[in-house]
Amino acid sequence: MKDNVLSRKKSRKEKITPLSIVIVIFLIFYCLAILTLLIWGLISSFKNPNTDFRLNPVGLPKQWTMSNFENVYKLFYVDVLRDGNTTYVKLPMLFL
């Protein structure tokens, strides 16, 4: 009985079809595109907003700066409407 079950499992091997190869290639390119955009966005976040975006929109920043992150931390807020009143919630309060 055991031999019959083992032989059945061996005969059920998954076959690699052309469709599965195309799907895997498509998914690899899709993942590479998403990773490229994430890395580009991360590198762009370190650029100086006054000069680097106009002069060098695609390349590496000439001077790496953290001012963009400071501005987001200081200026970002969300409008919350509760009981007819609007409350502004700043970024640090979102994590509490």
54-95 pLDDT tens trace: 888 788 888 888 888 888 888 888 888 888 888 888 877 777
The model's pLDDT over 25-34, given as tens digits with 9 standing for 90+, comes to: 999 999 999 9
Reported as half-sphere exposure (CB side, CA atoms, 13 A), residue 37 has a value of 5
How many other CB atoms are there within 10 angstroms of residue 65's CB atom? 15
The model's pLDDT over 47-58, given as tens digits with 9 standing for 90+, comes to: 887 877 788 878
pTM exceeds 0.75? no
Domain-wise residue ranges, the chain: 2-94
